[in-house]
Chain A
Amino acid sequence: EERRYRSASGEPIALRALQHSASCRELAVRCPRLQLRSLSAVTSAVWLAAYGLFVLSQNSMVLSAAIFITLIGLIIYLHFVKIDQESLLVIGSLGIQVTSSYASGKESTTFIEMGRVKDVVINEAIHMQKVIYYLCILLQDPGDPQGVSEIVPLFQSSKPRLDCLIEVYKSCQEILVQRKTAPQSN
C-alpha cells in the first residue's frame, strides 16, 4: 500500500512500507517520473538556441551538435542524476541498507552494519536558503560511546516533508529499540 506525501519542493512522492518480519522492515520513497512537458521544454529551448546560432553563423555543424548534445545530456541525466526510488531496508540484528535506483535502471546500494549505527534521527539543517527536515543515520564513534563520528543523510533526492519522515522514523525506531532489549542475541 502506498501513501502519498509531498517533497520539500512540493512535488508528489509516495511512501511504501513493507514489513517482512518482526525485525525487518523496508521503506521505499518513490519520486515523480520525468515529465514529458519539461523534457520537451528543455529540448525545444536547446534546439531553438542552436537554430539561432545556425542562422548567425551559417554553420550546419551547430544543428547536428545540438542534437548530439541533447541525446547525450538526456542519457547522462537519466543514468546519473534522476532518481526513481530511494529505499531503506532495516534488519534488526544485521544492519541498514540504503538503495537508490536511477531512472535508467542503475541501482546504488550502501550497507551499514548494526554495530556502527548509533541511532536514526530526524535532523533539521540549512540547505540552500531553506531549513529542511531530513532523516539521517548517526554512526557510532568507536572511541566515545556518547559521540557521533559521522552522519549519513537519507532520501536526499526525494526530500520528504516532516509527516512522511515521522512515519519512517517511527518505523525505524520500533526495530532499533529491540536491540537494547535483546543484546544477548548478537
Chain B
Amino acid sequence: NSPAPLPERAIYGFALFLGSWFGFMLYLIWAYVPETWLFSLGLTYWPQKYWAVALPVYLLVAIGIGYVLLFGINMMSTAPLNSTHTITDNYAKKQQRKKFQEEAIPALRDIPISEVNRMFFLSEK
C-alpha cells in the first residue's frame, strides 16, 4: 500500500484530469452561452441557468457554516464538569492489574485520581 507511482495510478489521474476539464468546460458553456444559441443547436434539455449561480453560492455558504458547525460540535462533545468521563473511561475501568515483581519495572497502568492528587498536593516535603 505504498504511495509510489504506478501505471494504473497514472491512468486514473489522467482520466480524472480530462474528466474534470471537460466538466468545467461544460459548466462554462452552460452558464455563458445564451439559451437561443443552444436551442438552435438542438440542445433543449438543460437545467435552469439560475442554478449556475445558485450552486456555487450554496457550496461557499455551506463551507462557511461548516467552520461554525465544527466549532459548535466540538464544544458540545466536550464532557461537562460533572461527568465521570473527566477522570476515567471504559479501558481504565476494565484494566487488569499485574502482580508486583521484585527488581522489575512496574507495569503501565492508569493511576486513580485520588492517588495522583495525593502525590501532587500532599507530599510536598
Provide the residues of chain B in CB contact with A119, threshold 8 Å: 113-114, 117
Residue of A nearest to B93 (CB): A147
* A8 close to B (CB within 8 Å): no
Find the residue from B79, B81, B86, B120 having the highest chain A CB count within 10 A. Answer: B81
Residue of A nearest to B120 (CB): A122
Beta-carbon contact of A126 and B117 below 8 Å: no
Provide the residues of chain A in CB contact with B114, threshold 8 Å: 118-119, 121, 138
* B112 close to A (CB within 8 Å): yes
CB distance from A84 to the nearest CB of B (A): 21
Interface size on B, residues (CB 8 A): 19
Among B55-97, those with CB < 8 Å from A are 75, 78-79, 81-84, 86-88, 93
Given contacts A122-B117, A122-B121, A170-B121, contact A151 B84 (CB under 8 A): yes
CB distance from B34 to the nearest CB of A (A): 46
* B122 close to A (CB within 8 Å): yes
A28 to B117, CA, bound (A): 22
| Contacting residue for B81 out of A127, A147, A170, CB 8 A | A127
Among A114-139, those with CB < 8 Å from B are 118-119, 121-123, 125-128, 134, 136, 138
Provide the residues of chain A in CB contact with B88, threshold 8 Å: 148
Provide the residues of chain A in CB contact with B87, threshold 8 Å: 123, 138, 148, 151
A129 to B112, CA, bound (A): 25
Beta-carbon contact of A148 and B86 below 8 Å: no
Provide the residues of chain A in CB contact with B83, threshold 8 Å: 151
CB distance from B115 to the nearest CB of A (A): 10
Given contacts A148-B84, A150-B84, A153-B81, contact A123 B121 (CB under 8 A): no
Residue of B nearest to A129 (CB): B75
Beta-carbon contact of B121 and A134 below 8 Å: no
Beta-carbon contact of A151 and B122 below 8 Å: no
Find the residue from B79, B82, B83, B118 having the highest chain A CB count within 10 A. Answer: B82
**Chain A residues with a Cβ under 8 A of chain B:** 118-119, 121-123, 125-128, 134, 136, 138, 146-153, 156, 166, 169-170, 173
**Chain B residues with a Cβ under 8 A of chain A:** 75, 78-79, 81-84, 86-88, 93, 112-114, 117-118, 120-122
With A148-B84, A150-B84, A151-B83 already in contact, 8 other A-B pairs whose C-beta atoms are closer than 8 Å: A119-B114, A119-B117, A125-B79, A125-B81, A136-B82, A148-B88, A152-B82, A170-B121
5 tightest Cβ-Cβ pairs between the two chains A and B: A125-B86, A119-B114, A153-B81, A121-B117, A151-B82
